[in-house]
């Protein structure tokens, strides 16, 4: 659920949320009192709250939610300490960027999964050139577009073994892989954060060895740079 007393901010936040996969906005509120009245009768996993609002601020509202996970989104940095005293999942500064929102939502997903006792999935099952394969997340080092067919992707494991993933997009892989552990670095390549050794503004040196016996280097495209930097900071 969303709460922001300024309509432009609320509309923008709702639009960003709707762009994230597997996230549904149950309801968006512009009035804190209405939010409190209706919250008890609505099913939701977590809420994103503004802090500075008339009559009742976001910190007060969080205290009334009986432990429901909260992400604060505000233009003010002064409330950060109080927010985390309330065990807030995250504290996002406005103007909100979708990469930063996604990072906060991923934290909420992990928190909800852990608190409800759901086991974290550790592998994916995909069609490959070797048949149906089970690939464990922590074994996958690197994925690139196949040179033979752009619809296929080549996954390299940390032990050097390779699988051709049949007819799958990077967008679909991003849905299946743990978002905090993998990142697109350019249009044709996706990398495990564990494989990063050194990085600069436009290049990543990995701990993977290529055919020439040197460390594999990948270009870091500007379209993916911010997301990569955010994940490196986690």
Q: Which fold has domain 2-115?
A: Rossmann fold (3.40.50)
CA distance 56 to 114: 31
pLDDT at 51 over 60: yes
What pLDDT digit, counting tens, does each position of 106-139 carry? 989 888 877 654 445 789 999 999 999 999 999 9
In the numeric block, the tokens 């065990």 are attached to: 87
Two structure tokens written together for 33: 């009192």
Tell me the mean pLDDT in the region 70-90.
Answer: 77
- Count of all residues that appear for the chain in the document: 234
pLDDT at 175 over 50: yes
pLDDT at 79 over 70: no
- The pTM for the full model equals 0.51
Burial class of residue 51 in the structure, from the number of CB atoms within 10 Å of its CB (0-12 exposed, 13-18 middle, 19+ buried): buried
What pLDDT digit, counting tens, does each position of 177-220 carry? 988 899 999 999 999 999 999 999 999 999 999 888 899 999 99
Confidence at 48, pLDDT banded by 50, 70, 90: very high
Question: Could you name the CATH architecture of 123-233?
Answer: Beta Barrel (2.40)
| Domain locations in the chain as residue ranges | 2-115, 123-233
Two structure tokens written together for 132: 């149906």
pLDDT at 85 over 80: no
Tell me the mean pLDDT in the region 69-79.
Answer: 83
């Amino acid at each position: 659920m969303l709460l922001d007393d300024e309509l432009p901010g609320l509309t923008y936040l709702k639009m960003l949320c709707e762009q994230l996969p597997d996230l549904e906005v149950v309801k968006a509120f512009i009035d804190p009192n209405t939010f409190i009245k209706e919250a008890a009768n609505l099913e939701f996993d977590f809420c994103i709250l503004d802090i500075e609002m008339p009559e009742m601020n976001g910190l007060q509202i969080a205290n009334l939610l009986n432990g429901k996970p909260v992400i604060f989104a505000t233009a003010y940095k002064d409330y950060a300490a109080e927010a985390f005293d309330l065990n807030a999942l995250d504290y996002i500064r406005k103007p909100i960027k979708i990469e930063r929102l996604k990072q906060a939502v991923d934290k909420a997903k992990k928190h909800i999964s852990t608190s409800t006792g759901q086991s974290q999935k550790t592998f994916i099952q995909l069609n490959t050139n070797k048949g149906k394969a089970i690939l464990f997340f922590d074994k996958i080092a690197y994925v690139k577009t196949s040179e033979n067919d752009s619809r296929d992707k080549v996954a390299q494991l940390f032990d050097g073994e390779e699988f051709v993933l049949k007819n799958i997009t990077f967008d679909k892989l991003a849905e299946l892989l743990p978002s905090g552990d993998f990142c697109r670095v350019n249009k044709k390549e996706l990398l495990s954060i564990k494989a990063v050794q050194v990085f600069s503004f436009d290049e990543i040196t990995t701990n993977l060895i290529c055919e020439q016996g040197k460390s594999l280097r990948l270009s870091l495209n500007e379209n993916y740079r911010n997301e990569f930097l955010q994940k490196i900071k986690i």
